[in-house]
Structure 1
């Protein structure tokens, strides 16, 4: 009886090994890149570590229990039955002297600052998984493609999970991107996918990239993880602070709540715009994804003047209703010191206009 069982196990292992060699899984750091990574104080025991390590699963939860819940329990309205409303802004026609932002759903954002065009965590393939049957974008949320993008001066990647680093999108953008900004190790994926080493700016936490006299990028911490295949923690997860001549913009990436928001606020505040992860959360994995009340507190900690909640309205990765993040953060933001900004997908945000109005566009969507 054991022989057939072992043959099946060996066959499955062989299939998995060869499947993981496909290009969408990227490349783990090696050679000189790995040698540089090993110099980082945040790389210990053969992987990157959070500043203060804590279990990914909260106390009282188990991986088997969570898998059972997702497979066998019903959670209502996890995705919209209607098509999401959107606006198709022509990114190529935004005036060069405008400081503007356009959100594409989930964590994908275009910004134009000081005439520079920036793209953050773009996912235009319509999926958040390397598997053919994986997580798909909601109807109406995937209206932009690589063809709609102008030439990009700086492509920012927060970390290498599939819903932030999308193979098909990155390959499609290759001839439009001048520079890539990412955490240590992530450049290995880009080199495998045809980007040149000189295009890639890989940084550790608490570093600075001075692009010119009026444009500086600060690489900041997060509490999260990384990995595209079976290995975890080989590449670094990031948040970013962009400082121009008259704007400070914080991009949280993914990560659970901790004192980093307070420290960043003390270091850079007040911050003009905070783009904060708010969606695909659960108390089971609270350590690596903010709950809505933590998002609101993070905006306060950052001394943010304006806050845009992202990581919602495109993919179902959590168990909550698809519109719960927007409903909750709207309630939690009443009488807060920051202005909550909730554009529709594709709607242009004027970063210099304090009085621009935004609809609660999700309220009439089933």
Structure 2
């Protein structure tokens, strides 16, 4: 059942008594607890690597090509199409209305405006030029998925914000009206304008500071109309839940699956590319769109590696992958393969230095 705001014992510590993955004021992964092996020492080692051992190709030396979008171009966009704006930010046109996932338009995926992962490229369209949005769909509260500045701006042109349990309170603290926010637990559905939005499980965690660990839920999303069926992974490690989602809600015309910011040390919360392709297979997807890559430097791998490894795994399992440019429209029921735009960015950078 969708709720406009959480029912709780207190404003700061909701109980969510009906949720079987919430206890002692925190959400948890019921099937596969997140591995914190190594504790503080492991965390410090990762921080050291991020600070001193970053590979030079973790970020592009020149900005990748982006196809600029205008409000006029979006107005003319045919129904049942999508455009990737960056990272996990996707704009869909469904039932002649626009739907937006995990909107991040900030220069940095960080609580600080002057430090933290910086964008490789500008968004194909500015917040001001976006059309009216039927709903913004949020997967979880991390900075590379939930941008406060974007939410504040979008509140003026968005009918509803569809979010996992607990995220609604954060949005309301930022000035979003309570009646604009719909909170869902896993397997709850909200339908509007002929689109069914269902929160589904993910293997992840949440928190925006040292004091709010896992107080808000994380989710993947099933998005369905009478003609199309989509899956949006948010952030997640690989887990058996993908098979159950596929059995219950699939097949899917396109799966938008996290493929980036991974490392064997945190594979339980961010899939390796080969696992991303396996998740797509489990979900019974037709076409796969690798997301969570190409915009921010959030791991130790080369920025082009997620695409290359995903393509290799897709070829092995005969999975159809689409890799459009940022800003390039794709028809949901007839996707195109896209291009190797990341390779072109590397070649262009080499040519500049020669």
Q: What TM-score, normalized by structure 2, do the two folds share?
A: 0.89
Shift of 1:55: 3.5
> Which segment is superposed worse, 47-56 or 60-69?
60-69
Paired with 1:96 and 1:331, the residues of 2 have a C-alpha distance of: 32
Structure 2 unaligned blocks of 5 or more? 1-7, 347-354
Q: How does 1:33-182 map to 2 (within 5 A)?
A: 34-35=13-14, 37-57=16-36, 62-94=42-74, 95=76, 98-182=79-163
3-state secondary structure, aligned to 2:277: helix
What stretches of structure 1 move > 6 A for 4+ residues in a row?
A: none
Paired with 2:307 and 2:230, the residues of 1 have a C-alpha distance of: 21
Corresponding residue number in structure 1 for 2:255: 274
Corresponding residue number in structure 2 for 1:316: 297
Is the contact between residue 99 and residue 137 of structure 2 (CA under 8 Å) also seen in structure 1?
A: yes
Is the contact between residue 117 and residue 298 of structure 2 (CA under 8 Å) also seen in structure 1?
A: no
Shift of 1:352: 2.5
Aligned to 1:361, which of 327, 338, 341?
341
Is the contact between residue 135 and residue 315 of structure 1 (CA under 8 Å) also seen in structure 2?
A: no
Paired with 1:73 and 1:362, the residues of 2 have a C-alpha distance of: 23
Structure 1 unaligned blocks of 5 or more? 1-28
Paired with 1:255 and 1:116, the residues of 2 have a C-alpha distance of: 28
3-state secondary structure, aligned to 2:135: strand
Corresponding residue number in structure 2 for 1:15: none
What are the superposed Cα offsets for residues 168-194 of structure 1, whole Å, 9 maximum, x if unpaired? 111111211110000011011111111
Root-mean-square deviation (CA, aligned residues, Å) is 2.1
3-state secondary structure, aligned to 1:147: coil
Paired with 1:302 and 1:318, the residues of 2 have a C-alpha distance of: 26
Query: Which has the higher Rg, Structure 1 or Structure 2?
Result: 1
Paired with 2:54 and 2:316, the residues of 1 have a C-alpha distance of: 35
Aligned to 1:227, which of 207, 221, 224?
207
Shift of 1:37: 2.4
Q: How does 1:4-23 map to 2 (within 5 A)?
A: none
Aligned to 1:292, which of 258, 269, 273?
273
Shift of 1:148: 2.2
Is the contact between residue 57 and residue 284 of structure 1 (CA under 8 Å) also seen in structure 2?
A: no
Shift of 1:59: 7.2
Shift of 1:149: 0.9
Q: Does 2:284 correspond to 1:303? A: yes
Corresponding residue number in structure 1 for 2:239: 258
Relative distance call for 1:31 and 1:115 in structure 2 (3 A) is farther
Paired with 1:365 and 1:267, the residues of 2 have a C-alpha distance of: 40
